[in-house]
Structure 1
Amino acid sequence: MDHDRDYDYADLGLVAGLEIHQQLDTATKLFCDCPTARREPDTSDRRFARYLHPTRSELGEIDEAALEESRVDREFEYLAFDTTCLVEEDDEPPHRLDEEALETTLEIAALLDMEVVDSVQVMRKIVVDGSNTSGFQRSSLVATDGAIETSEGPVGVTDMLLEEESAQRVSETEAGVRYGLDRLGIPLVEIGTAPDIRSPAQAREAAERIGMLLRSTGKVKRGLGTIRQDVNVSVAEGARIELKGVQSLDDIDDIVRLEVHRQVRLLELRDELRERDAAVGDPQDVTGTFADTDSGVIAGASTVMAVPLYGFDGVVGAEIQPDRRLGTELSDHAKRHGAGGIFHTDELPAYGVTAAEVDALRDAVDAGGSDAVAIVAADREVAEAAIEAVAERAGTALEGVPEETRDANEDGTSRYLRPLPGAARMYPETDVPPVEPDPAGVETPELLTEKVERYQSEYGLDAGLAEQVAYGRRMPAFETAVGRGIDPTTAATTLESTVTEIRRRDAPVENLTDEHLLDTLDLVEADDLAKEGIGEVLTVLAEQPDLSAEAAVDEAGLSGVDEAEVREAVAEVVERNADQVDAEGMGAFSALMGECMGALRGKADGEVVSDVLREEIQQRL
């Protein structure tokens, strides 16, 4: 399959928009006083379980996405911690909206040139996949009508919501799904753009721009899972598809490109099926056809259900994304109802199914050579529900591209998740009073792009190092360091290059606090530690974080040496390499300098060692 086609996206009518979800770095959660620090699942001290069911909206409607979720009977188990409160367990009403989270949201709104609403009203959004103990997510509209600039034109920002983060899925259980409550309730902003994006590259650029503005506040969480991008994509004859959970900005352009290709392929297959007068038959029980089968999957099931797909021969196996076929789409729908997947005649005989069994299957459902048949083998209830889902999805193949929510895979492809949600999932939260925001006193921060320029002009950093520091997680520590009078280049190199080097040596750098780093830099500034010893001291602090920087210097054996000791060590190196010095003169300097620094193990400043070495070499000339 040529999934690398050179598409004319304007000709295809590509329309895309982004929904960016970013956790805020607040002290407490959005509706309670619990901390926002993440916990390891094995530190949980108790568990409880829930079953969730959808409720009707104010107008008496049930959201289609929530209804489909509820058709899968699952138990949701929650891991609680010593910090878990009754609000998180949904055993106590939520508290008032967190003021710190709202202030940060107003700051982001200013950066996005958005209009702040007069009243922030908390709403309930029905979610019954277990990710919220209450069966809904609390969400508030804070601002509208903003914009950002890209090289391909402006992109509108339609709305920004402040909402609570969902619980983290930890694992699957025999009865359902297990979640951790440490993430539930962390404040989160959801930023939605207008459908102004017209190419995969513009989608990535827009996401990068918004991400830069968010990080410029210095008040958002960093690290894997703290920011997620959903991408809405459609082409002219296709349908709006919501692609959930894009973790990396680097993946967005591939996600859009491959979704465009999927929709184009589905439209091509639709046209082919219509030319064939294709149709979907009624599901049938074909258990008897496989009574003596050697297929382990089928033999282990009590029921085999089949659906004839008239005119679908060769189409079910047609690739629509890399390593994904129309049959994979059908299988995704079957899996939603508990089945392990499907078999279909475009891939059979295989998996223990013989050619004779394929012929018997075709006869059983009255399918000819131009037709295909899909089967599901499972317990009766699961098999019947799954084959109905397969038949329904096969029917939509005759129409083209079905609207749906899909889960983004790591390779840029996607899989079916659920139908698109509708307005019926929202209704007011009566336990939390509205808030009237005041954007008048909000001060916008220096943008990261502006910091890069300032670090170059004010501190003399080169462009690459300036960008590393400005966009890095240790940027606040750098600002503090230079504010203390520490040399900017030394501070920047330590925070970026040195920390990276000791991480590569498997030192647990996650244990290093800003205090560790700043105290170590203070020792360098006070001439109590040579710059060359910074890495060894930080390695000690990473492995023994309870030590002070001064103690780490002693532990590393880097207590300062006087000039006499330096001269003695250098003289020994020069004497040991006398032949080289006699032959090369000052040309031997570079090689001997490395040897001298190794002999002193970072105990002496490099400039001092350099001066002494030059003197010692010159004395021999």
Structure 2
Amino acid sequence: EVEMVREKIGCRNMDAFVISSGEKKVARTCIEAVITRAAMAFDMEGEVRKALPDGTTKYMRPIAGAERMYPETDVPPVFIEPDRIKRLKSELPETFDDKILRYEKYGLGKDEAEQIVYGGKDELFEPLVKKHDPKAIARILLHVLPEIERKGHDIKNLAGRIDEVLEGLEKGMFSKDGIDKIMECWAGKPDASLEEIIKECGIEAMNKEDLRKEIKSILKEHTSIVAEKGEDAISPLMGIAMKKMKGKADGSLIYQILKEEVMRIVQEKSREYKK
């Protein structure tokens, strides 16, 4: 019978039909409701549906619109003093965006600032930046500690050592190139003092005089490089010097003294050649 009706009214494969039977007014109202619901399939509005035991849902009612929203009639209006609003605004926490901008003013790059803030490292950064170089702090938080953790070390106790490490750096107990090694050594010996860790790592800071002696010793061992390359020997010799003295002196100071000594040798050779 269904197929006969479909054929009679010209239904195609994906078509459906509805029969409404009853008094004309009731039948028409029913059909109009069906048409309205069918149209909603093409222009869906919010609706409340009931979950059924078989995992499907059933239409219950449309979601109430703005016309259903009204003030609570049983609660009297509350007047908020402008001063209170002003005070509350002043007590709002700093937004992430504002904090990132503030960190950029410390000299950090935007990426560094975002990593600290979004990574939840700002709680460590804030007290440290009042005393130490922001970029040194950022390097430890974003690079040194993660690298130590990647090597399999427990870094839980290292966060509390950052202040002490930076104080040691500022006192000249070691160079900034030694921070990585000190932090890694400390991860393995959390109960040791900074002095003990420095000794353990073998990176006690060298004074300028001892550093120059060490560089002269390196040049003596590699005279052939200077003889062959002249001023260009600085680059390969710098690699040798850094490998031997990393952590004991800043790279910039090592480079400065190495350059002075290489140039001295080159100039002496030049004078000898002219004679």
Could you tell me whether the CA contact under 8 Å between 1:516 and 1:548 is conserved in 2? no
Answer yes or no: is 1:507 the counterpart of 2:153. yes
RMSD of Structure 2 on Structure 1 (CA): 3.1
Which of the pair has more CA radius of gyration? 2
Higher helix share: 2
The CA distance in 2 between the partners of 1:511 and 1:402, in whole Å, is: 57
Q: Return closer, same or farther for 1:473/1:545 CA change in 2, 3 Å cut-off.
A: farther
The CA distance in 1 between the partners of 2:46 and 2:228, in whole Å, is: 77
Q: How far did residue 240 of structure 1 move?
A: 8.6
Listed one character per residue, the Cα deviations across residues 355-380 of structure 1 (whole Å, up to 9, x for unaligned) are: xxxxxxxxxxxxxxxxxxxxxxxxxx
The CA distance in 2 between the partners of 1:590 and 1:562, in whole Å, is: 23
Name 1:87's counterpart in structure 2. none
The CA distance in 2 between the partners of 1:578 and 1:239, in whole Å, is: 86
DSSP 3-state at the match of 1:511: coil
Note the 1:506-525 alignment, pairs <5 A: 506-513=152-159, 515-525=160-170
Name 1:452's counterpart in structure 2. 100
Note the 1:474-553 alignment, pairs <5 A: 474-484=121-131, 486-513=132-159, 515-553=160-198
DSSP 3-state at the match of 1:510: coil
Note the 1:303-382 alignment, pairs <5 A: none
Name 2:16's counterpart in structure 1. none
Listed one character per residue, the Cα deviations across residues 227-268 of structure 1 (whole Å, up to 9, x for unaligned) are: xxxxxxxx9599999xxxxxxxxxxxxxxxxxxxxxxxxxxx
Please give the TM-score of this superposition, normalised by the length of structure 2. Answer: 0.61
Q: How far did residue 576 of structure 1 move?
A: 3.2
Q: Return closer, same or farther for 1:402/1:587 CA change in 2, 3 Å cut-off.
A: farther
The CA distance in 1 between the partners of 2:234 and 2:207, in whole Å, is: 22
Please give the TM-score of this superposition, normalised by the length of structure 1. Answer: 0.29
Q: Return closer, same or farther for 1:556/1:237 CA change in 2, 3 Å cut-off.
A: same
The CA distance in 2 between the partners of 1:240 and 1:576, in whole Å, is: 85
**Unaligned stretches of 5+ in structure 1?**
1-234, 242-391, 404-437
Answer yes or no: is 1:466 the counterpart of 2:113. yes
The CA distance in 1 between the partners of 2:217 and 2:126, in whole Å, is: 42
Q: How far did residue 520 of structure 1 move?
A: 0.3
Name 1:557's counterpart in structure 2. 202
Calculate percent identity across the aligned residue pairs: 29
The CA distance in 2 between the partners of 1:550 and 1:240, in whole Å, is: 69
Aligned length: 196
Note the 1:60-139 alignment, pairs <5 A: none
Q: Return closer, same or farther for 1:525/1:240 CA change in 2, 3 Å cut-off.
A: farther
The CA distance in 2 between the partners of 1:500 and 1:476, in whole Å, is: 17
DSSP 3-state at the match of 2:156: helix
Answer yes or no: is 1:566 the counterpart of 2:204. no
Q: Return closer, same or farther for 1:574/1:482 CA change in 2, 3 Å cut-off.
A: same
Listed one character per residue, the Cα deviations across residues 57-79 of structure 1 (whole Å, up to 9, x for unaligned) are: xxxxxxxxxxxxxxxxxxxxxxx
Listed one character per residue, the Cα deviations across residues 429-449 of structure 1 (whole Å, up to 9, x for unaligned) are: xxxxxxxxx995571222222
DSSP 3-state at the match of 2:153: coil
Higher strand share: 1
Within the candidate set 238, 241, 246, 1:596 is matched to: 241
DSSP 3-state at the match of 1:445: coil
| RCO higher in structure (CA 8 A, sep ≥6) | 1
DSSP 3-state at the match of 1:590: helix
Could you tell me whether the CA contact under 8 Å between 1:589 and 1:614 is conserved in 2? yes
Q: Return closer, same or farther for 1:516/1:590 CA change in 2, 3 Å cut-off.
A: same
The CA distance in 1 between the partners of 2:58 and 2:264, in whole Å, is: 84
Q: Return closer, same or farther for 1:237/1:589 CA change in 2, 3 Å cut-off.
A: farther
The CA distance in 1 between the partners of 2:204 and 2:235, in whole Å, is: 25
The CA distance in 2 between the partners of 1:240 and 1:523, in whole Å, is: 65
